[in-house]
Amino acid sequence: MKKLIYLFFAFSIFLFSCQEDKDVNKDPYQYETLEHFYTQASVLKVEIAYEPNAEPYVSGGFGSSVNFDFTQNNLTALFAQRSRPIQVLIDKQLNQMTQIPSQNKTSFTSADIRDLSDDYQVEQSTEDQAVVFLVFLDGYYSLNGQNQNTVLGVSAGSHAVAIFKPVLEAITGGGVLGSNPKYQVEQATIVHEVAHAIGLVNAGVDMHVAHQDAAHGKHCSNTDCVMYWTNEGPSGASGLFGGASVNEIVFGQECIDDITNYLN
């Protein structure tokens, strides 16, 4: 089974909450360690799949721009100061993504998500390319037999990441992110999740300077960084989208410095 490192991201307080999956197998395959990625790979690919009725928002959240440009621009900015370039590739339109069959269920365990990655991930990590599999599901995260109706996203112990669309759809219009905040919140979720997957904060990538908010897990102490724990929710994200532009970089310098200096 494909492994990188475990983490997960979920919106917290009111609509969302953040939890950790303790029961995971973290034994990596040869090309799926962070050390290999940062020393050998030249490409990070974010491969996207979705269930029927759980399609990601590909447009409409940032004016006329393609929504996933936001994720690509932010991940690219993380790597921009490294001595060896890392190119970010990401599925941006539905016709580039994989529609998986309806799973005919309303809840998904971490094991279920890992199984979906095994069954439907098209590209695999290689010597030159690391792959993060992101699947949008028409259901809820199940933990200890209970549906977590406030959990938006989770990483299932590897680079298999899931987003639970019914939770995101519960976000109403208005608020700090404009008339359709869920479009932008979805992109912030993806950025946050993938950043965890590639080692932030202190989740496999060493900190250049101390900035982990240990009281809230693998998060950043910089309140203006997308990796700050309250920026996982709509109210806390107001400072992240001042211009509501796909070109806006929402990582703090501390996180950028971590990626810049790790095994570089």
Q: Which of 71-80, 188-197, 202-211 has the lowest mean pLDDT?
A: 188-197
Give the domains, in start order, of the chain with CATH numbers: 34-255 (3.40.390)
Q: What tokens does 169 get?
A: 């759809």
Residue 171 has pLDDT above 50, yes or no: yes
pLDDT of residue 6: 32
Distance, C-alpha 147 to centroid of its chain: 21
Residue 110 has pLDDT above 80, yes or no: yes
Q: What residues form DSSP beta bridges with 132?
A: 46
* Residue range 104-120: mean pLDDT, rounded: 94
> If you write DSSP's letter for every residue of 211-229 in order, what string do you get?
-B-GGGSS-BS-TTSTTSG
Residue 182: CB atoms within 10 Å: 22
Residue with the larger pLDDT of the pair 175 and 194: 194
Residue 227 has pLDDT above 70, yes or no: yes
Question: What is the 8-class DSSP label of residue 207?
Answer: P
Rounded-to-integer distance, Cα 65 and Cα 60, Å: 7
* Sign of the alpha-carbon dihedral angle for 150, 49, 44, 204: positive
Residue 210: CB atoms within 10 Å: 9
Nearest Cα neighbor of 132 from 1, 264, 2 is 2
Residue 192 has pLDDT above 90, yes or no: no
pTM: 0.84
pLDDT of residue 240: 63
Residue 69: CB atoms within 10 Å: 16
Q: Which residue has the tokens 């639970």?
A: 164
> Edge to edge, what strands does the sheet with 140-143 contain?
107-108, 140-143, 146-148
Q: Which residue has the tokens 């069954």?
A: 119
| Average pLDDT for the chain | 82
Instruction: Say which amino acid occupies 200.
Output: L
Rounded-to-integer distance, Cα 119 and Cα 136, Å: 15
Rounded-to-integer distance, Cα 79 and Cα 51, Å: 31
Rounded-to-integer distance, Cα 16 and Cα 232, Å: 8
Residue partners of 95: CB distance under 8 A and separation at least 6 = none
Q: What tokens does 115 get?
A: 């199984």
Q: What residues form DSSP beta bridges with 130?
A: 44
Query: In this prediction, what percent of the chain has a pLDDT beyond 70?
Result: 79
Phi-psi group of 177: left, alpha or beta (phi > 0 → left; psi -120 to 50 → alpha; rest → beta): alpha
Q: What residues form DSSP beta bridges with 164?
A: 137
* Residue range 153-159: mean pLDDT, rounded: 72
Residue 132 has pLDDT above 50, yes or no: yes
